[in-house]
Amino acid sequence: MHNETTTDRIPVAILGATGAVGQRLVSLLFNHPWFEPMALCASERSAGKPYGQATRWILADPMPEAAAAMTVRSSAPFAEPKIVFSALEADIAFEIEEDWARNGHLVVSNARSHRMREDVPLVIPELNADHLALVRRQPYPNGGAIVTNPNCSTIGLVLALAPLERAFGLKAVNVVTMQAASGAGYPGVPFMDLIDNVVPFIPGEEEKLETEPLKILGSLTSDGTRVEKATFGVSAACHRVAVSDGHMEAVSVSFEKPADKAAIMRAWIDFEADTEGLNLPSAPAKPVLYSDAPDRPQPRFDRNAGHGMSATIGRLRPCSILGWKFELLSHNTVRGAAGGTILLAELCVAKGLVNGAVAPARSVVKEIQSIIEPQLEMA
């Protein structure tokens, strides 16, 4: 445990703190070397109660004692938090997040509500950190801004695609997902729907997978005011399978330029993340890993790779239709939700988007790994 005094850390609030993603944020942020949670916000029904009472805790690691004792607040903005993490449901996120931004806060959101707005960056820190420039176009005063984390199944896919896009240019991407139940939150999918079964439909999911990658892999115009979307085609078919955590995706791709297996592997292995050199505590050593085993990646064995922050790729092989195909896995509630959102907030700090907050020196970076790891045991 670190010994920094509280005042060294950046005060943050968590919206939707009692939900599934909110709990994961609580769990990670109460042990975070940079951030100091000072408010846990939830619906009016929970407001006023101690967090420990208001929450049906569903993680394996115990609720942080400091969190349990905090009184839950409503979601209305107040002055202190410099960063507001949003794990709100999409239906209410739109307005509440704007409220905070209008009050001068940086909102880092896992909700889909603002993702596709032209002036809102949709960011995977390793891939398109430059898109953060879009916040300058946002209408909020006093440094208020909204930045967004992509959908859980999008993040894994785009982590694998970005090196290929840079190296060979993408023409078409076909992706068939086999997604974990935790992606639906809690209580989420009924046991009776998924035992001995596959459900070939997740509302809204195929649409997100077919649009978000084009924005993330789009190019910031030279004046930094707009993202020119990428133009390759994406076709997605989404399935829910009997898995707790870890989204599998069967991906096939066609390229603009010729590619062979060695070159593709090299693209993944040599990929230089935008986050390199920034010493962000939640950044994995490698955003994508490649497994040589004939039958990997697999959710139960690979989801925790890179402390749950790395996507694992395997089985790269020719595809007689599109050219190449491979299998992909990433942890949907760590990289795909809470962990990804925190990494994005770290990036915002490093890029100077948080009023008066400075990224800590390198010395604390390593510490985060011993914090994240135990939490993954049951992730």
**Which positions are catalytic?**
152, 247
Backbone angles phi, psi at 144, to 5 degrees: -65, 145
CA distance 161 to 311: 11
Site for its own copies contains 233 (CB under 8 A)? yes
Which one among 4, 60, 118, 269 touches its own copies, defined by CB under 8 A?
Answer: 60
Q: Which of 160, 25, 154, 162 is nearest to 86 (CA)?
A: 25
Site for its own copies contains 373 (CB under 8 A)? yes
CB-nearer residue toward its own copies: 137 or 239: 239
Which one among 48, 141, 188, 204 touches its own copies, defined by CB under 8 A?
Answer: 188
Choices 71-79, 112-120, 197-205, 349-357; region in contact with its own copies by CB under 8 A? 197-205
Which one among 69, 76, 116, 198 touches its own copies, defined by CB under 8 A?
Answer: 198
CA distance 297 to 251: 13
CB-nearer residue toward its own copies: 117 or 325: 325
Site for its own copies contains 294 (CB under 8 A)? yes
CB-nearer residue toward its own copies: 282 or 375: 375
Would the CA dihedral through 364, 358, 23, 54 be positive or negative?
positive
Backbone angles phi, psi at 20, to 5 degrees: -65, -50
CB-nearer residue toward its own copies: 113 or 291: 291
CA distance 247 to 153: 7
Q: What is the DSSP string of 259-309?
A: --HHHHHHHHHT---TTTTS--TT--S-SEEEE-STT---HHHHTTGGGGT
Which one among 79, 262, 321, 361 touches its own copies, defined by CB under 8 A?
Answer: 321
Site for its own copies contains 174 (CB under 8 A)? yes
Which one among 67, 108, 178, 227 touches its own copies, defined by CB under 8 A?
Answer: 178
Q: Which residues, numbered 88-127, are part of the site for its own copies (CB under 8 A)?
A: none
Q: Residue 202: left (phi > 0), alpha (psi -120 to 50), or beta? A: beta
Which one among 223, 292, 320, 356 touches its own copies, defined by CB under 8 A?
Answer: 320
Four-point Cα dihedral 294, 296, 301, 305, nearest 10: 120
Half-sphere exposure of 135 (CA within 13 A, CB side): 26
C-alpha pair distances (Å), 317 with each of 163, 165, 262: 17, 18, 11
Site for its own copies contains 292 (CB under 8 A)? no
CB-nearer residue toward its own copies: 189 or 278: 189
Choices 66-74, 217-225, 319-327, 336-344; region in contact with its own copies by CB under 8 A? 319-327
Which of the 8 DSSP states describes residue 80? S
> Going residue by residue from 7 to 46, which x/- string records binding to its own copies, judged by CB under 8 A?
----------------------------------------
Identity of the amino acid at 253? V
CA distance 346 to 42: 23
Site for its own copies contains 311 (CB under 8 A)? no
Burial of 237 (0-12, 13-18, 19+ CB in 10 A): middle
Site for its own copies contains 68 (CB under 8 A)? no
Residues that bind its own copies (CB under 8 A): 58, 60, 172-174, 176, 178, 181-182, 186-201, 210, 233-235, 237, 239, 241-244, 248, 250, 252, 294-301, 304, 314-315, 319-322, 325, 327, 370, 373-374, 376-378
